[in-house]
Amino acid sequence: MKLSIVIPCYNEEDNVQKMREELFPILESLSLTYNLQVVFVDDGSTDQTLKALKATFESLSTPQIVFCFMKHDVNRGLGAAMRTGFSGAEGDLIITTDSDGTYKFSSIPALLDLLKPGVDIVTASPYHPQGNVVGVPKNRLILSQGASFLYRVLVSWNVHTYTCLFRAYRREVIDTISFKSNGFLAGTELMVKGMLKGYKVVEFPAVLYSRVFGTSKAKLARTIKAHLSFQWQVLLHRMRLVQLV
């Protein structure tokens, strides 16, 4: 079976060496089970992210582990980077993960273990009762926790975290569910639309860590507006379903 790992990057030059140290040992282990493809998407970085990625990972390609590099000429946002990565992903299973180490790459095997028959999406969940958050300032969690609470009310109370990027998908989900967002709403939009379509989601209780290098690229006001707009669309969808009944 082929596994693709999609990693969007924006101005992450300082993180590349750390990423190699933490990611490559996991890839070597996974390559015993899967044919691996790692798709890096440089979302219009203004630093030397792409050059650093190629210098670090290109020479590590093997028949079992292939590294691909895609680039936007300008910064287009996380959602756009995800779509670009999906367009190049060839795997039967597809993982999306952050480049900054906020979710440990060492968790990838455990994430995949939950993608059993009948499960379509496995999502990391620091807000699960068995999950945790380490070192992240509380003010940075307000948006994520608040948005996830509203999605729990609107979509499913059984899912605790709706806002993370660290997930495993079956190919069918990526091929079937479209999402419009170019920004940080994208991962939420993809999962929620999948859930409304009937795809089964299972949570992986995860630990969310503070990034070591660089700063978050999320634009708070823009992201809040995007979530509220999408939540309104979900509410209207739910109301129409009730009326049809």
How high is the pLDDT of residue 143?
Answer: 85
How high is the pLDDT of residue 217?
Answer: 54
Q: Is the pLDDT reported for residue 134 higher than 70? A: yes
Torsion sign, CA atoms 233, 234, 240, 244: positive
Tell me how far apart the alpha carbons of residues 67 and 4 are, in angstroms, rounded to a whole number: 10
How high is the pLDDT of residue 124?
Answer: 97
Set out the domains of the chain in order of their start, with CATH numbers: 2-244 (3.90.550.10)
For the full predicted model, state whether its pTM sits above 0.85. Answer: yes
How high is the pLDDT of residue 137?
Answer: 79
- Which run of H or E residues covers position 47? none
How high is the pLDDT of residue 241?
Answer: 75
Could you report the per-residue pLDDT of 165-199, keeping only the tens digit for each? 999 999 999 999 999 999 999 999 999 999 999 99
107 — phi, psi (to 5°)?
Answer: -85, -10
> Residue 240: which pLDDT band, with cuts at 50, 70 and 90?
confident
DSSP for 119-176, written as a single string: --EEEEETTSTT-EEES--HHHHHHHHHHHHHHHHHT-TT----S-S-EEEEHHHHHH
Could you report the per-residue pLDDT of 203-234, keeping only the tens digit for each? 999 999 986 554 555 566 888 899 999 999 99
Spatial strand order in the sheet of 2-9: 65-72, 35-43, 2-9, 93-96, 167-170, 121-125, 201-205
